[in-house]
Structure 1
Amino acid sequence: MAEIVARFSRRGPASEETLEAVHAALDELWTDAEFLSDLDRMAFTTAVIEASTNVIRHAQPDDGAELQLGVDVTVSAERLEARISEIGARHSDPAAEDAAMPEAGAENESGWGLALIQALVTTVTFEREGGSNVWVLRRNASNHSG
């Protein structure tokens, strides 16, 4: 297993304020991972923010639950990984939806998010853990093939 060189965790209400805190934490994280290419940092940041935004806009709270957004990021020299949790959410699986990019100029932008995330990272998985839906995003560092 590769040595973790940088990490952060954030959890809060599924809101714009929590999203801003995640974005700030990512910006700070890159100071500890300057060895990564700009492309890796930019692509991974975009994927994490897009998945987090998806939680805020589309996740449905389970009966009586307060919807929370949790983001855990780890970085090694070989891989960037984010676990984005829809805490207290109804079970759903966005991966079961068609993730093809909509036609250019399409009126409905639905479907762009997952397709964009898939284009930016090496793998995207979606799991159910307890009362949470969890997105797992992994991007292999461009200077490594593993």
Structure 2
Amino acid sequence: MTDILARRALEQPATEQAIEDLHGVLDQLWIDAAFVPQLDQMAFTTAVIESASNVVQHGVPADGAELLLGVELTVATGRLRAVISEIGAAAHDPVPDIDGAAASAPLDEDSLLEDYDESGRGLSMIRALVTTVTVERQGDTNVWVLSRDSGQN
């Protein structure tokens, strides 16, 4: 098991204020994990903010639910990880296979880019900045997991 060296979290309504607050949470994470190389910090921060912004801009609440943004950030030896949750969200239809790990992925990458980011740049930018991106449905929550291998000492 990998030891967690730093951890931060946020959960609040999926609004622009949540994105502003997330910037502060990330700043605090990097104070705790100053040993992480600057390039890894910048790439991971950009991917997390872009992913959370997609929840705020494109997330759809389930009928009668308030959409919440949940973010759990962890730094372990050699690995940065973010779990970004669309709590109270309508299910993605279909749930995308971002990493292509499933044998029967119903959509190709171009379809995902069109369906999950109107501008076509967000998801591809996130994928370029992290090592892995996955998404799954857990109860009433769409859960996006981003991880980045880090060259930290």
CA distance in structure 1 between the aligned counterparts of 2:75 and 2:137, rounded to whole angstroms: 23
Distance apart, 1:79 and its partner CA? 0.4
2:138 paired residue number = 129
Structure 2 residue runs without a partner (length 5+): 99-106
- Letter matched to residue 98 of structure 1: E
Structure 1 residue runs without a partner (length 5+): 103-107
CA distance in structure 2 between the aligned counterparts of 1:91 and 1:115, rounded to whole angstroms: 21
Distance apart, 1:2 and its partner CA? 1.5
- Letter matched to residue 26 of structure 1: L
- 1:1-146 superposed matches below 5 A: 1-92=1-92, 93=95, 95=98, 96=107, 98=109, 110-143=119-152
SS at 2:86's partner residue?
A: strand
Distance apart, 1:9 and its partner CA? 1.0
Determine what percentage of the aligned residue pairs are the same residue: 53
TM-score (norm 1): 0.87
SS at 1:34's partner residue?
A: coil
Q: CA offsets per residue over residues 42-69 of structure 1, 9 Å max, x none?
A: 0000000000000000011111110000
Distance apart, 1:34 and its partner CA? 1.1
CA distance in structure 2 between the aligned counterparts of 1:139 and 1:75, rounded to whole angstroms: 10
Structure 1 residue ranges, 4+ long, deviating more than 4 angstroms after superposition:
none
- Letter matched to residue 65 of structure 2: A
TM-score (norm 2): 0.84
- Is the 8 Å Cα contact of residues 4 and 76 (structure 1) preserved in structure 2? yes
